A = this chain, B = another copy of it.
Amino acid sequence: MSSAPEFFFEDFPVGQVLDYGSYHVTAEEIVSFAREFDPQPFHIDEKAAKASMLGGLCASGWHVCAIVMRMMVDGYFGRTASMGSTGIDEMKWLKPVFAGDRLSCRRTTLAARVSAKRAEMGILKMQWELFDANSQKKAEMTGIKLIKVRGGA
């Protein structure tokens, strides 16, 4: 994290679209995350995963979310004057994320306003879409980000 943020509320205008990131998913990290948080057979056991309806070892949905967050931080959010988030409106796991997948993200600003109560805080409704190398959409989420207004206290 930089101590002098580069991006503020004004840098995320409504309708803006940004493509970013290139994340290689490994079997090791799928199993490691799942052992800690989501030890279902299709996340920790290659053989069981092949026999399941998912067809192969795939990342926990929460691991997918964490990867989206990591890509966001690396892509722009680590240089953004973040004030956190209140939540997610919708999270869709559309296709399994498999070991070996190469992922990229697309971010779109859906709505933007300055808080009525706190003039230094911008409230952004954002959409993130996660794609594999064949442009197949793997996941989609919309949520709220709180970001400082430029020059705000």
Interface residues of A (CB under 8 A from B): 1, 33, 36-42, 53-54, 60-63, 65-67, 69-70, 73, 77-78, 82-93, 143
- Which residues in B have their C-beta under 8 angstroms from that of A38? 66, 69-70, 73
Minimum CB–CB distance for A120 against chain B, Å: 10
- Say whether B61 contacts A85, CB under 8 Å: yes
Q: Can you sample 5 A-B contacts with CB below 8 Å?
A: A37-B66, A37-B73, A38-B66, A53-B83, A88-B91
Which residues of B sit under 8 angstroms from A88, Cβ to Cβ? 88, 90-91
User: Known: A54-B84, A62-B62, A66-B66. Is A39-B73 also a contact (CB below 8 A)?
Assistant: yes
* Cβ A82 vs Cβ B37 within 8 A: no
The CA of A143 and the CA of B77, in the complex, are separated in Å by 27
Whole-angstrom distance between the alpha carbons of A54 and B54 in the complex?
39
* Assembly CA distance A89 to B89 (angstroms): 6
Q: Is A37 in contact with B91, judged by CB distance below 8 angstroms? A: no
Cα-based distance from A151 to B87 in the complex (angstroms): 38
- CB of A48, distance to nearest CB on chain B (Å): 8
CA distance A108 to B97 in the complex (A): 28
> What chain B residues lie within 8 Å of A54 (beta carbons)?
84
Measured between beta carbons, the chain B residues less than 8 angstroms from A90 are 87-90
Q: Inside 8 A of A69's CB, which chain B residues have their CB?
A: 37-38, 60, 62
